[in-house]
Amino acid sequence: MLSPLGFSVLRSLSDGELHSGEALAAAAGVSRARVSQLLQDAAAAGLKFERIRGRGYRLLEALRFLERDAVVAALGRSAAKLSVEVVDTIDSTSSELARRAARVDIHRHVLAAEWQTAGRGRRGRTWTAVAGGSLTFSLGWRFEQGAGYLAGLTLAVGLSLAQGLESAGIKGIELKWPNDLVHGSAKLGGILVELSGDALGPSLAVIGIGINVHLSPGARRAIEQPVTDLASVSGAHSIDRNVLLGCILEDLAAMLETYETAGFAPLRAAWQRRHALQGKPVQILLPDGGVARGRVAGVDADGALVLVSAGRRLRFVSGEISLARALR
C-alpha cells in the first residue's frame, strides 16, 4: 500500500534520475531500510525501479505527478468556476467529499488523488487505479432539483468526459449505458454519481470519475474485464495528466451548468451517437437477477435505456448491459 511517506520518496524519484538511498532517506527523514521498504511497496503497486549498486535507485519511467497549480493553470479562465484539491493518498475521493458535505460546502469542489485505498465503482465494486497511471477524482455539485431530474446525470457526465478527451486530442471514445467510457470493446473509465438531499430538491451530487491513463500489464491482469488506457488509444508515450484533468474539468463544469437549467433531454442525441451498443442486440441483468433481451433503441429524455423486444418497447433505469450473441 502506498503511504504519504512513500509518495514523498516517489516525488524525489519522479525525475527519472538516479538518487542514492542516503539522499532519499535524508529527504524523507527516515532510515535507508525504511526507504527500501517504501520502494518495495511502490513496486507492488506497479511502479518499476532500477537499482544500481553503489549509485542508488531510479524510476524506469519519469513520472509527472498530479499538482494542484498545474491543474489550475490548465483550466485557464475556467479556474474561477472550481476549487481544486490534490492529495497523494486517500481511501476514496467520493467518500471524503461525502464526509465533508456534513460540515462544509463542497459545491464545485474537485478532489483528485494519486492513490485510493478503497476506490469505489458501481454496485459495490472496487475501482483499480495505478499510481501515476490513472486519473481518479470526484466533484461536488449542488442542484436545486430533486433526484428525478438528475436521473440522466451519469450519462451527461459520460458525454462530457468523452468530449473533453476529444478536445485533448484523444479520438474514438464511446459510451456504454449507463456509466462506462469504452474504446472498442474495452473499458477505459467509469463514473459513479451518488445523490443526497430531498426528493423534490435541492440535491447534492458527488460525481466520482476514474480513467485509465497508463496501465501496466500486471494492472490489466488484476482487472476482471477487458480494459484499455489512454496511452494505448492515443499512441502517446507520455500524457500530462494535469493538462488532461484541466481539459476534462473545463468541459464538465460547462456541462453541469447546462444540465442545471435544461436537464438531460438536449444532450440525448449526442449521447446516443456515442453509444457503443446503439442498435445492437443486448441482454440486461436486472437487479432482481432476471434477464431482459432486446435491441437497443436508445435512451429516453430521462436517461433510461429503451429496448425493442418482441415488438414492445421496454424501459430500464438500472441493470448490467452486455452484447448478446443472438436474440431469442
Per-residue model confidence (pLDDT) at position 328: 40
In the prediction, which pLDDT does 125 show?
A: 62
The distance between the two most distant Cα atoms of the chain, rounded to a whole number of Å, is 74
Judge whether residue 237 has pLDDT over 80: no
Average pLDDT over residues 205-217: 91
Q: Which three cell numbers stand for residue 25?
A: 532517506
* pLDDT band at residue 326 under the 50/70/90 scheme: very low
The DSSP letter of residue 117 is S
Which pLDDT band, with edges at 50, 70 and 90, does 119 fall under?
confident
Return the top range by mean pLDDT from 29-33, 87-91, 94-98: 94-98
Contact call for residues 9 and 28 (beta carbons, < 8 A):
yes
User: pLDDT digit string (tens) for 146-185?
Assistant: 999 999 999 999 999 999 999 888 999 999 999 999 998 8
Q: Closest Cα to residue 16, out of 67, 57, 74, 69? A: 57
212 closest CA partner among 223, 203, 199: 223
**Angle (nearest 5°) at CA 244 between 229 and 258:** 110
Contact 104, 97 (CB under 8 A): no
What CA–CA distance (Å, rounded) separates 89 from 136? Answer: 11
Give percent of the chain with pLDDT exceeding 70. Answer: 95
Mean pLDDT of 300-315: 95
User: Is the pLDDT confidence value at 123 over 60?
Assistant: no
Q: 264 with 302: CB under 8 angstroms?
A: yes
| Grid coordinates belonging to 201 | 430538491
Does the pLDDT at position 133 exceed 90? Answer: no
Whether residue 121 is predicted with pLDDT greater than 70 in this model: the reply is no
| Stated pTM of the model | 0.89
| Amino acid in position 46 | G
Handedness of CA 26, 30, 34, 39 (dihedral sign): negative
Position 327 scores a pLDDT of: 41
Taking the C-alpha atoms of residue 304 and residue 298, their distance in angstroms, rounded to an integer, is 9
Tally: H helices and E strands in the chain: 10, 14
- pLDDT value at 317 more than 90: yes
Residue 128: predicted pLDDT:
65
Q: What is the dihedral of CA 80, 82, 87, 90, to 10 degrees?
A: 170
Average pLDDT, the chain: 90
Beta strands of 217-286 (E only): which ranges?
281-285
What cell was used for 297? 433503441
Helix ranges restricted to H, the chain: 4-13, 21-28, 32-44, 68-75, 93-101, 153-167, 217-222, 230-234, 241-262, 268-273
Q: Which residue has the cell 534520475?
A: 17
Q: In this predicted structure, what is the pLDDT of residue 215?
A: 85
Grid cell digits, residue 275: 453509444
Please tell me the number of Cα atoms within 13 Å of 134 on its side-chain side: 31
Q: Which of these, 44, 277, 271, lies nearest to 155 by C-alpha position? A: 271
What mean pLDDT comes out for the span 98-126?
Answer: 86
- Give the chain's domains with CATH numbers: 4-59 (1.10.10.10), 68-273 (3.30.930.10), 281-323 (2.30.30.100)
